[in-house]
Structure 1
Amino acid sequence: MHIAILTFEGFNELDSLIALGMLNRIKKPGWRVSLACPEPRVTSMNGVTLEAQCSLADAATADAVLVGSGILTRQIAADAALMAQLKLDPSRQLLGAQCSGALILAKLGLLNNLPACTDLTTKPWVQEAGIEVLNQPFFARENVATAGGCLSAQYLASWVIARLEGVDEAQAAMHYVAPVGEKDEYVARMMRNIGPYLNLRSSL
C-alpha cells in the first residue's frame, strides 16, 4: 500500500508533514508513505528543505495520493508541463487535496460536479475554476476528498486511513497524536467530520 503526498516548491509544512506523520502511524508490512516531488529537493514556504522520497511518476501508481498546498500553487497549476506529469485517476486511487491542492485537482478536471474545501486565500481561485467552495473543513465523495485549513490535514489523513485500513485504525492514529487530556474529544471531532463520508465507498 503506497500513499504519496505531492509536495512542491514553496510547500506548507503543516499540510504535508501532519499527513505524513499521521499516516505513518500505520505499522504494517508493505504500508509506505512518501513525499512525492517534481525535483530531488524542495524548499518550504518557511525555508525548510526536504528530499523527495519518490517522483511524480511514482505517485501515478500509488494507491492514494494527497496533494499538498503551498505559496506557489497558482504557478504550479499554470505550468502545463508539470501538470501533465500528474497522472491521477479516482477510479483506481484515493485522491485528497489539502488547501490550495484543491486548485490542482480542479485544474486536472478531477473536481467536476464536486464541491470542495480549501483555505480562505485559495477560495476565490477555486471558485474561478468553477468549483463551489464549502464553509467546512472536510468533504469527500467516493474516492475524492478535500480539506480546508492547515490543521484539517488531520481529517484528510484520517479519511485515508479509514478507507484503506478501517475506522478503528483511523481512530487509533488520531488518539495517538491528539493532545493529552483531549484525546477523546479529538477522535470524536474527527469522526464527526469524516464519518458522514465513509459510507460513500468505491472499490479500488
Structure 2
Amino acid sequence: MSERLRNIFRLRSPADSERAKFLSRAFGIFSEQIVSIWSGDERSPYENLGRPTIKTAEGDRGYTLDFALRERASGRVYVSEMKCEIEFQNFKFFVLERASQLEHHKKPAFEAFLGAARPTVHQTTFLKGKSIDTDGAILIWGAVAPEGRDEAIKTKGFHDVLSVEQICADLASWKCVRYAELIGRRQKWCNELFAGLLEAAPVDAPSSD
C-alpha cells in the first residue's frame, strides 16, 4: 500500500503546519483531474463516463456528483464522490480509518451519494441528460487504511473505496504521460509565480521636476 501522499504532507515539526496548509490547498486545485486521468487510462479498472446527477423522490432538485465510473471488467456503472480533505482540522479526515469519519459530510448531495450505494426506486440517476441504471457507489478518499476501507464497504454498502494516494502511485508506476504533463505544467506555473514574486521591481524614471 502506497503512502506517497502521507509522506508529502506528514508533519515533521510544529513549524511544518503552515507548509501542510499551503500544499494541501494547492493540491486541492487539481486533485480531481488526477482521478480523471487515472480513469481515462486503459490500465485502470474503472472508466469515467462523466458527472452523474441523482434525483430523489423528495423533489425535483438534482445532486451532481463527481464521477460515474464504469467497471471495465463487468461493465457495471457506479456513481462516485471524491473527498480529499488533507490538512483540514489537523488531518482529521485525511486517512480513512473508520466509517464514522463519513458522518462529517452532511450535505444533501453526499446523502444522495450514500443512498446510491444501495440503489432503490426512490432514486434516479442521469448522465448527460439521460436516465441510466447504476449498480451502487464508489467512494474516493484522500488516503485509506485497510481497516477503514473494509468498514466503510461493510457499513455503507460501497462497491469499492479508492484512494487518491494509490491512484497517484498507479499513475507514477505506469509512467502515464498525461499525469506527468499535468504535474509538470503545474510545477512550471508555480515556478513562474515564485520567480516573478522575487524579481526586483523596475526602478521609476527620475522626475523631470
TM over 0.5: no
Q: Which has the higher helix share?
A: 2
